[in-house]
Amino acid sequence: MKVLICDATDPKALETIAEAGIEVVNRPDITPEELEEAIPEYDCMVVRSRTKVRVPVIDKAAKLKAIVRGGVGLDNIDVEYAKSKGIQVLNTPSASTQAVAELATGYLLALARHIPQMTASMKAGKWEKKAFSGIEVSGKTLGVVGAGRIGQGVAKRAHALGMTILAYDPFVSEGENIEFVSLDELFKRSDFITLHVPHIKATHNIVDAKSIEMMKDGVYIINCGRGGTIDEDALYEAIKAGKVAGAALDVYAEEPSKGHKLYTLDEVIGSPHIGAGTAEAKARVGEEVAQNVIGALS
């Protein structure tokens, strides 16, 4: 049995897989063209968010028994087509919960107090006490779009900071210290909005010009979920107009995102899809990946 590692994966996970008698081929920088050429000889493949597993790859995967996604979202895999070919599609849904929830919470505080902008000002040799008056999150309302593991993790942390929590999720209706409301009501009542939904047809540009118009003036928007769930052009215009006070983004409609016009705005802070990028999360993801590979091929 052979497994192809297509993206960076914890070395301990690769050791665990090899110890189970499975041949591991580690090619974390494999290109789409190289993947199509190589995939016919493999029984399993491991991907993260970089590698796309689309129909052309699946059609050439003559021996493939399983696709293991290190992480939560499966939007980079044509899941139903893979399943129609008898290929299992597995992920690690809980491994990165803490890391992403903490990043979103960090962004919540960073937006409220302009922490990145103040740091840049200080590094430029300035002392601008009056330029960076912030707000307190205590007493404010956080709207959580998507109340799964990560969304509820953010809600728990925000409640501890003294916030009122609203949530919208068509599949979840209960959560500690959370009031579940319609999406429109969430948009209208929230001071901060954080997105934790997959990018599917129903969530494509769930935040767009129409929904932004419903929101409070001076709202803050955080997206550590999936790119494609925010209309980035609409967000840009809303920030320029002063409707949205600021945004924090870890994910984008097109990745890698370089030179995006949103980053010409001082009100926007962000990161390069690094939500699960902690040592602890990487280790947990690797452990679950290893067990999924071994289970699928045993």
Q: What are the residue numbers of the active site? A: 226, 255, 273
Distance CA 286, CA 8 (A): 10
134-148: burial string, b at 16+ Cβ within 10 Å, e else: ebebeebbbbbbbbb
Helices 279-297 and 11-19, packing angle to 10 deg = 20
Helical (H) or strand (E) element with 150? helix 149-160
Rounded to whole angstroms, what are the CA distances from 44 to 2, 16, 159, 253? 7, 15, 42, 28
Q: Which residue has the tokens 């959580």?
A: 144
Q: Sheet containing 44-47: give its strands across.
A: 23-26, 2-5, 44-47, 66-69, 88-91
Is residue 180 classed as helix, strand or coil in its secondary structure?
Answer: strand
